[in-house]
Amino acid sequence: MALDIRIFPCLNDNYGFLVRDRAAGLVATVDTPDAEAIQRDLETSGWGRLDLILNTHWHPDHTQGNAALKAATGCEIVGPEEVRRAAPLDRVVAGGDTVMLGETTFEVTETPGHTLGHIVYRSAADDQAFVGDTLFVMGCGRLFEGTPEQMWDSFQALLRWPDETTIWCAHEYSAANARFTLSVDDRPETAAHAAKVFDLREQGRPTVPTTLAAEKAFNPFLRAGDAATFAALRAAKDSFVG
């Protein structure tokens, strides 16, 4: 019941994640933006193996390393059915399913909105969640396939998690998200939170992970209150130049 988690930049603004179940020594990667970058971090980690790929959704920047990593390691690939349109997949999972990594149990929650089949993974015992492109620091995924109502419902599922849940987002969009947030939220505590984000980015450091508590406090999309308000905010963000 203990996880080691590594985060590293991939492509332009993606993050790669390696997760190890300490008890069994088994290793997973969440999404596969860049097989070479993931292989490099596997070497750096010294963890010596890759057992499992957990895909969150079908977009190429989350699945394009599946084939190469499977060929190199023989790992199992788990994800939503929609991944099949882009990459190999061994086991289809849906909401309510669980995926084991050694002694760690990842629960699957469906979060349609960014894509229709988007899922997220959470180890409740460790309070660690991998949310793909559903939620970002002070932001959320664009609605490429789903409706605002679907995404709003997806947020409600995440909001049932404990406040202390650590949230691992798949992109570093935080500075742009913070600029948008400041345009719709003039509370001093929000300005202070945004300042920390700008500071980390100036130092070239990741702003991920965040926590559910921080997003409940500062994420304007989670704070929207209802689907219609969320829809208006999402539309405003899509055209925001900040």
Provide the binding-site residues for Fe ion, judged by CB under 5 A.
61, 133
Nearer to Fe ion, 21 or 133 (CB): 133
Q: Which residues contact 150 (CB under 8 A, 6 or more apart)?
A: 112, 113, 116
Of the listed pieces 46-54, 90-98, 131-139, 202-210, which binds Zn ion according to CB under 5 A?
131-139
- Binding track over 56-95 against Zn ion, x by CB under 5 A: ---x------------------------------------
C-alpha–C-alpha distance, residues 52 and 35, integer Å:
13
Q: Least distance (Å) from Zn ion to the CB of residue 174?
A: 16
Written as six digits, the tokens of 107 are: 């629960």
User: Looking at this protein, which amino acid is placed at residue 105?
Assistant: T
Among 133, 137, 168, 237, which residue interacts with Zn ion (rule: CB under 5 A)? 133
- Contact by Cβ (8 Å): 41, 20: no
Nearer to Fe ion, 47 or 173 (CB): 173
Q: Least distance (Å) from Fe ion to the CB of residue 149?
A: 22
Nearer to Zn ion, 41 or 133 (CB): 133
Q: Least distance (Å) from Fe ion to the CB of residue 164?
A: 26
C-alpha–C-alpha distance, residues 213 and 175, integer Å:
19
Give me the phi and psi of 139, to 5 degrees please: -150, -175
β-strand partners of 180: none
Q: 56: number of CA atoms within 13 Å, CB side?
A: 30
Does residue 110 belong to the site contacting Zn ion (CB under 5 A)? Answer: no
Nearer to Zn ion, 26 or 137 (CB): 137
Nearer to Zn ion, 50 or 83 (CB): 83
Q: Least distance (Å) from Zn ion to the CB of residue 144?
A: 7
Written as six digits, the tokens of 140 are: 């959320």
Q: Least distance (Å) from Fe ion to the CB of residue 114?
A: 8
Q: Which residue is nearest to Zn ion (CB)?
A: 59
User: Would you give the end-to-end CA distance of the chain in angstroms?
Assistant: 43
Q: Within its chain, how far is the Cα of 164 from the centroid?
A: 16
Binding site for Zn ion (CB under 5 A): 59, 133
